[in-house]
Structure 1
């Protein structure tokens, strides 16, 4: 049975938001952030989720098993700013039941 999961997202102003994300719509983290308007319009998902801009870079804050990073995501993060060991592109992480409780922080815009 499909269900909504809870994500804890810290926006670029340091404010924490607990949001529900549906697991039955094939959304990714970047789309959830846009859906809840947790980043200013035009500052996230600029490439449309193609792993080509890193505007949806986020830091994974807890130990939830994520899908393996693909070559495109790895290449984009190797060129992005403000990258940390726990950086991922939100557009490359599809919402699924095993992400329930995931905590992320949006990377700075610049």
Structure 2
């Protein structure tokens, strides 16, 4: 079962197990994880699921789509050119059995 770990600025950590195919955003919303809103429901049109992916997981991620790239220009928290991604676009599965992200200060 895939695992998603969310690190918060206050030092707290939430780790949840999810079914394969669950996105980082859906896992957070379903699990009541603070700091990830997901207003658009996963359509990559709001940037309220912005996360910073830990470097060791970047190689397993799909490439940025044009829509995701555009939305990342609109994030409330500063964009990290290497680590910023939309959680709705990061789905767990065979290539991504585990992912660790840092939750931004604001969405």
TM-score interval, smaller chain: 0.7 to 0.9
Aligned residues: 103
The alignment yields a C-alpha RMSD, in angstroms, of 1.8
Contact 1:12 1:39 in 2 (8 A): no
Tell me the secondary structure at the aligned position of residue 104 of structure 1.
strand
The 5 Å alignment of 1:30-69 reads 30-39=25-34, 44-64=37-57, 65-69=60-64
Q: Which runs of 4+ in 1 moved over 4 A?
A: none
From 82, 95, 98, the counterpart of 1:98: 95
Indicate yes or no: 2:68 matched with 1:73.
yes
Q: After TM superposition, give the deviation of residue 12 of structure 1 in Å.
A: 5.3
Q: CA–CA distance in 1 between the matches of 2:42 and 2:8?
A: 19
TM-score (normalizing by structure 2) = 0.84
Task: Pick closer, same or farther for the CA change 1:35–1:13 going to 2, 3 Å.
Answer: farther
TM-score (normalizing by structure 1) = 0.82
